[in-house]
Amino acid sequence: MNKDIKYFGIDISHLVFDVTDSQGNYYQFKNSISGFKKFLKLVDSHSHCVMEATGYYHYQLAYYLQEHGVQLSVENPLSVKRFIQMKLSKIKTDKSDSRLICEYAKQVELKLWQGNSKHQLECLQMTRALSMYTKQRTMLKNKIHGELVLGVPSKVVLRSFKQSLKYLNKQMESLETKLLILVKQVHQEVLTRLKSIPVIGPKTSLMLVVLTDGFERFTSASELCSYAGLAPVIRKSGSSVNGRPRISKIGNQKLRNLLFMCSFNACKYNHACKAIYDRLVAKGKSKKLALIAVCNKLLKQAFAIAKSGLLYDNNYRSILVKN
């Protein structure tokens, strides 16, 4: 803890946010621009604000503080929750949470929040919309199939479902086209190089670039694997606890799911991935574990290609992609 820094613990809800500073002073403001302006009067160049990543509610305040040059950390809610549990507090209110978040800020090593650029924010919003439309399309297809297997399906209902499905397909096609144009404006070269990796097609490479922000925020492949929740977790203690290693799953679920879907073809058509898969299966490891190893390998290949500026070459083994 730096004693020269004044910490502000912030607990955010839909309508208001509660604040406690390192001196124990408590405040409450509206979760709106007017409230942000009032709070900004309390902070200076020696202030450091700390809050949890609470769904969408923290974003407006976080970007507002960032734009005004305030030091800010947005912490993992699980880390803060565990800290609060260690305090054995019997009180659970927004006021008490802001006080404990302030105590948390004093005792841990904080990383400054970077946020996303406007370009990245728009790409992520389009990705979320496509994900929602994909689920809706699957649901509609299942409903159409369900109606068709009835003895006398309703023509009105079928027509309605098919029209909705047609509309969804048009919306998805439009969004995918706009997303591709948007990504090419910033990450054209990375997008082209990623498609040189076997089994990484246009849509997969596009999603990889969007979900990793063009790999620009990562300095190592292991850091990227941790971000995807593919890092192994070892559970051993004494002679009684000897659990099987498993992936953490604490990371970007969309990125993890994307890689897992690619792993089925990768263990057939990507030479490096196939070698890992065959070796692990031959050792008696489960196929699921082998597929997870393939996911790791694919992600390391993508990282190496993005950072090296080279196209994929089956005959070239770079230090960056060494397993």
Q: What pLDDT is recorded for position 45?
A: 87
Q: What pLDDT is recorded for position 56?
A: 84
Residues 38 and 67: their CA atoms lie apart, in Å, by 15
Helix then strand count (H, E) for the chain reads: 11, 7
Which one, of 216, 191, 213, lies nearest residue 202 by Cα?
191
Q: What pLDDT is recorded for position 153?
A: 84
Q: Verify that 123 and 100 share a domain, yes or no.
A: no
Query: How far is CA 193 from each of CA 33, 196, 257, rounded to the nearest angstrom?
Result: 42, 5, 22
Q: What pLDDT is recorded for position 306?
A: 93
Cβ–Cβ under 8 Å, residues 178 and 126? yes
Q: Which residue has the tokens 């509609």?
A: 140
Domain-embedded: residue 69: yes
279-303 CB burial, b ≥16 within 10 A, e <16 = ebeeeeeeeebbbbbbbbbbbbbbb
Q: Verify that 30 and 83 share a domain, yes or no.
A: yes
Quick one: tokens of 47? 């202030």
Residues 35 and 195: their CA atoms lie apart, in Å, by 47
How many CB atoms neighbour CB 43 within 10 A? Answer: 20
Q: Verify that 126 and 168 share a domain, yes or no.
A: yes
Residues 140 and 146: their CA atoms lie apart, in Å, by 10
Q: Verify that 125 and 93 share a domain, yes or no.
A: no
Q: What pLDDT is recorded for position 321?
A: 42
- CA–chain centroid gap for 110, Å, is 19
Expressed as residue numbers, the domain containing 24 is 6-107
Q: Give the chain's radius of gyration (CA, Å).
A: 24
Quick one: tokens of 226? 């941790």
Q: What pLDDT is recorded for position 322?
A: 42
Which of 107, 135, 150 terminates a domain? The answer is: 107
Q: What pLDDT is recorded for position 314?
A: 75
- Longest Cα separation, the chain: 76
Q: Verify that 134 and 170 share a domain, yes or no.
A: yes
Q: What is the mean pLDDT of each run of 10 residues along the chain (323 residues)?
A: 83 94 94 95 93 88 94 91 85 90 92 90 94 96 90 88 96 96 94 93 93 91 90 65 67 90 93 93 92 93 92 64 42
Cβ–Cβ under 8 Å, residues 226 and 251? yes
Residues 87 and 248: their CA atoms lie apart, in Å, by 25
Which of 73, 107, 141 terminates a domain? The answer is: 107
Q: What pLDDT is recorded for position 71?
A: 94
Domain-embedded: residue 205: no
Residue 286 belongs to what H/E stretch? none
Q: Verify that 100 and 132 share a domain, yes or no.
A: no
Cβ–Cβ under 8 Å, residues 51 and 61? yes
Q: Verify that 224 and 281 share a domain, yes or no.
A: yes
Q: Verify that 297 and 224 share a domain, yes or no.
A: yes
Q: Verify that 150 and 68 share a domain, yes or no.
A: no
Q: Verify that 131 and 85 share a domain, yes or no.
A: no
Count how many domains the chain has: 3
Which one, of 71, 66, 69, lies nearest residue 49 by Cα?
71
Q: What pLDDT is recorded for position 137?
A: 96
Which one, of 125, 79, 130, lies nearest residue 100 by Cα?
79
Q: What pLDDT is recorded for position 244?
A: 66
Which one, of 204, 248, 201, 197, lies nearest residue 227 by Cα?
248
CATH number of the domain at 153, please. Answer: 1.20.120
Q: How many CA atoms lie within 13 A of 308 on its CB side?
A: 19
Q: What pLDDT is recorded for position 264?
A: 94
Q: Verify that 155 and 93 share a domain, yes or no.
A: no
CATH number of the domain at 95, please. Answer: 3.30.420.140
Domain-embedded: residue 198: no
